């Protein structure tokens, strides 16, 4: 079965199944593996980018299992996945809209676009902060002791 993360979980189950629960240590090991894989894949042009997109499923699986351990639904992770891109896309669109409005009202479109660019960078920072706060919450919160509606508590050396 390969390297066991917990008594009943191997690496394939960790990354490819959203069912069950994992402890904090298994979550961070999985998260760091995905981060490392994405860093390496980022060096390979098109194929690496496709692999990075495919790794999103592995991330969803480990976050879901960790949320299950906390007694939460895995759907909580939709918030940072949707909030960040919507915020950044809206800020990016506002750069063009602000410049267009300034040119129509005989203002200075370059200055308007520059000020909207500041808002774009602030939006990027906020989106990153939300993602980071969510990851830290999931990674450091205590799991529920005993069984819950998502299964038995994780056991083994990585169940911490």
> pLDDT tens, position by position, for the chain (160 residues)?
444 444 456 888 899 999 999 999 999 999 999 999 999 988 988 888 888 888 999 999 999 999 999 999 999 999 998 988 888 888 878 777 777 777 777 777 777 777 778 778 888 888 899 999 999 999 999 999 999 999 999 987 566 6
Within a domain: 150? no
Q: Are residues 59 and 97 in the same domain?
A: no
Its domain, for residue 44, covers: 8-69
Q: Are residues 52 and 32 in the same domain?
A: yes
**What sign does the CA torsion over 133, 137, 139, 140 have?**
positive
> How many Å apart are CA 109 and CA 94, to the nearest integer?
12
Location of structure tokens 């520059």 = 114
> How many Å apart are CA 35 and CA 58, to the nearest integer?
11
DSSP state of 9: E
> How many Å apart are CA 68 and CA 151, to the nearest integer?
8
Within a domain: 58? yes
Q: Are residues 65 and 84 in the same domain?
A: no
Task: Answer with the one of 29, 51, 69 that is the final residue of a domain.
Answer: 69
What is the tally of structural domains in the chain?
2
């Amino acid at each position: 079965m390969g390297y066991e993360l917990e008594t009943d979980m191997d690496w394939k189950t960790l990354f490819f199944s959203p069912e069950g629960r994992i402890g904090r240590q298994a979550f961070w090991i999985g998260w760091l593996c995905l981060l490392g894989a994405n860093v390496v894949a980022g060096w390979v042009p098109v194929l690496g980018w496709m692999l990075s997109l495919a790794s999103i499923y592995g991330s969803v699986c480990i976050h879901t299992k960790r949320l299950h351990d906390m007694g939460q639904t895995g759907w909580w992770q939709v918030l940072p996945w949707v909030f960040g891109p919507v915020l950044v896309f809206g800020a990016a669109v506002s750069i063009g809209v602000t410049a267009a409005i300034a040119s129509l009202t005989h203002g200075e479109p370059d200055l308007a676009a520059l000020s909207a660019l500041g808002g774009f960078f602030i939006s990027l920072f906020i989106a990153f902060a939300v993602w980071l706060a969510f990851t830290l919450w999931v990674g450091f919160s205590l799991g529920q002791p005993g069984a819950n509606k998502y299964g038995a508590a994780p056991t083994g050396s990585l169940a911490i």
